[in-house]
Structure formats: structure tokens, C-alpha cells
Amino acid sequence: MSGDSLNQRTSFTYELGSYGQVRAFLADLAALSERCGFYPNLHFDSRSVRVSIEPEDGRTLAEQGSPFVSAMEELARARAEER
């Protein structure tokens, strides 16, 4: 995982061990997006996922009180531990 500080970053990259983990993480993100009502830009290949988040009204998701980023980080850690 890489990126800026949790409250300010707008791009997250998650390196996963396999295509299966990437697919599972994308499914996790889809469910999280439905729950939070937030749909980031996703780019992926066979072993990694990049999530790009644009601040709305000049405020980050953390400033808006959205749980999306912290929940996404937890999902990524869980998938990475499946290696």
C-alpha cells in the first residue's frame, strides 16, 4: 500500500498477490461503495488496484466524515494477509 497521509491522499495503490485477490478486493470495494454512496475511480491489473479519490467541494472524504477510506484500508489489509 502506498500514498500520502490518510486524511489528504487522493490516490491509493494496493499490491496484492494474485488476480483472485484483486477480484475479491474489487468486489469488497463495490459493496463498500454501495454502503457509503461513494464511487471512486478504479484502475487495476492482475496484481494491483489503484483507487483515485477526488475531494468534493474542496474537502477530503475524511473532512466530510466519510468512513470510506478507513474501511477501504481495512479491506486491503485483510486481502493482503491472504497471501
Write out pLDDT tens, residues 10-24: 889 999 989 999 999
Mean pLDDT of the chain: 85
**pLDDT interval class at 44 (50, 70, 90):** very high
Residue 67 Cα distances to 18, 25, 37, 62, angstroms: 27, 17, 11, 7
Name the grid cell of 14.
Answer: 494496493
What is the model's pTM? 0.80
| Alpha-carbon torsion (82, 42, 38, 53), positive or negative | positive
CATH architecture of 11-80: 2-Layer Sandwich (3.30)
